[in-house]
Amino acid sequence: MTKNRKMQNSHHGRRRSWTLIAVPYLWLSIFFLLPFLIVLKISFSEQVLSIPPYAPQMDWSAGWDGFKAMVSHWSLDNYLWLTEDELYLSAYLSSLKIAAIATILTLLIGYPMAYSMAKAPKGLQPLLLVMVILPFWTSFLIRVYAWIGILKNEGLLNQFLQMLGVIDEPLIILNTNIAVYIGIVYSYLPFMVLPLYATLEKLDNTLIEASQDLGCPPSKTFWRVTFPLSKPGIIAGCFLVFIPAVGEFVIPDILGGSETLMIGKTLWVEFFSNRDWPLASAVAVVLLVILIIPILLFQRHQRKSGEVLT
């Protein structure tokens, strides 16, 4: 009886484990893999004046024969067009450049914030965390629109600088790449601060004390001890900022000018203005492939870090 109970418990334990594993995989399959396959299928299609605006369509009544007939009409013309038109290459490169610069700026601002939070008294840290998360309580769109009132020629920033006598004429910030950088840094700063804080808050203070006892000055202690140990938080924060910033559409559309070229805006124009769903789908697929590369590099780094620790 005891042996049978152990076998039953083991069986239930394995089934419970499989259930826990299956839930996230099922979620990803429904809300990521399936939509991606649909977009991938459209990217091989051709633009037509119909609803939906692409062909060929799947003939469900024909079953497997209908699927083979649809596949036989697929082509790579949309992907070839992306290599022939310089607009798309420029949009990809510009997006990567803007996202990279914005990520560096976010790190330069977010690291001191996270470090100060981690060194603050324990009773004050929850309040500081709430202050970091507080912007999420307001609509993202409203927060971006608010920057128009701050950055425009007659906005609060120019009025404040003129009142202090710093400038004589209003600064032209709105509808420039500088405004886009400001919008991205402001919007994604919590995504940098939170993983950095989580890493810095768990650091072993005895290592810092040992370094100081050995005569190491505070600045050298920071670069030799604190900064290397905070690299997991730095890497996680950079990816959390860089990946969504590459495909950002709202911020460059509202704060950027006509010369601000990002792949998110290009994607929106192809989908809704030109109604070229196949080409827009190809743009989205290539963007996803580009974003997968840093994700794989991050996973590889995490795996290597785990091997070193073990």
The pLDDT value recorded for residue 130 is 92
Print burial letters for 24-51: b (CB count within 10 Å at least 16), e (below 16): eeeeeeeeeeeeeeebebbbbbbbeeee
Q: What is the pTM of this model?
A: 0.85
Q: What is the mean pLDDT of residues 88-97?
A: 93
Does residue 282 belong to any structural domain of this protein? Answer: yes
Provide the pLDDT for residue 309.
45
Within a domain: 24: no
Whether 264 is covered by a domain: the verdict is yes
- Cβ 143 vs Cβ 251: under 8 Å: no
For the chain, the distance separating the N- and C-terminal CA atoms, rounded to the nearest angstrom, is: 40
- E strand or H helix that includes residue 21: helix 2-28
Distance CA 117, CA 126 (A): 9
Q: Is the pLDDT of residue 18 over 70?
A: yes
279: left (phi over 0), alpha (psi -120 to 50) or beta: alpha
Could you report the per-residue pLDDT of 211-259, keeping only the tens digit for each?
777 778 888 888 888 888 898 899 889 989 999 999 898 999 999 887 8
- In CATH, what number is assigned to the domain containing residue 177? 1.10.3720.10
Digit-coded pLDDT (tens) for 39-49: 899 899 888 88
Instruction: Print the domain residue range for 170.
Output: 76-309
- For residue 36, being part of any structural domain is answered with no
The count of domains in the chain is 1
Q: Binning pLDDT at 50, 70 and 90, where does residue 15 land?
A: low
Which residue is associated with the tokens 């996202």? 99
Flag whether pLDDT at 114 surpasses 90. Answer: yes
Element (H, E) at 209: helix 205-213
